[in-house]
Amino acid sequence: MAKTSAKKLEKPVEELSYEEALTELEGIVGTLEDEQNPLEESMKLFERGQALVARCSVLLEAAQLKVQKLAGESVVAFEEESE
């Protein structure tokens, strides 16, 4: 478990999608709650967790519906009519 989380640490939070960040955060909270980890490892997990919370929060606040449309087999931007 500690090993897998160490592996995940390699990816900067800024590059994570909401789903990825949330999944990792849930894993970290679970680890901190259920497992005996070395202090240092726990501290790292906590800091990573904090960064993930911030990342999720930013993504939720900034979320804007992305609308595209199919043109034949390709996907292109869709301009909505103004109301």
Partner 1 sequence: MQPTLFSSNHLTVSQLTFHIRKQLEGDPILQDVWVEGEISNLSRPNSGHIYFTLKDKNASLRCMMWKLDAARLRVNLQDGMAVEAHGKITVYEPQGSYQLAVNIIQPKGEGALYQEFLRLKAMLESEGLFDVERKRPVPELPHKIGIITSQTGAALRDMLNTLRRRLPLVQVILAPSPVQGVDAPPALVNALQSLNKQNPDVILLARGGGSIEDLWAFNDERVVRAVADSKTPIICGVGHETDFTLCDFAADLRAPTPTAAAELATQTTIDDLHDLLSTLYTRLFSSTVNLFAEQKAVLSALIARLRYASPERGIRADAQHLDELSRRALSALTHRIQLNAATVDGISKRLQSLNPEGILSRGYAIITRKEDGAVVSKVSQARGEMKVRVSDGEFEVKK
Binding site for partner 1 (CB under 8 A): 18-19, 22, 25-26, 28-29, 32-33, 39, 42-43, 46, 49-50, 53, 56-57, 59-60, 63-70, 72-73, 75, 78, 80-81, 83
**Quick check: helix, strand or coil at residue 74?**
strand
Residue 27 and residue 5 in contact, taking contact as beta carbons nearer than 8 Å? yes
From the centroid of its chain, how far is CA 3? 19
Nearer to partner 1, 10 or 83 (CB): 83
CB of residue 46 vs partner 1: minimum separation in angstroms? 4
Nearer to partner 1, 7 or 62 (CB): 62
Residue 38 and residue 1 in contact, taking contact as beta carbons nearer than 8 Å? no
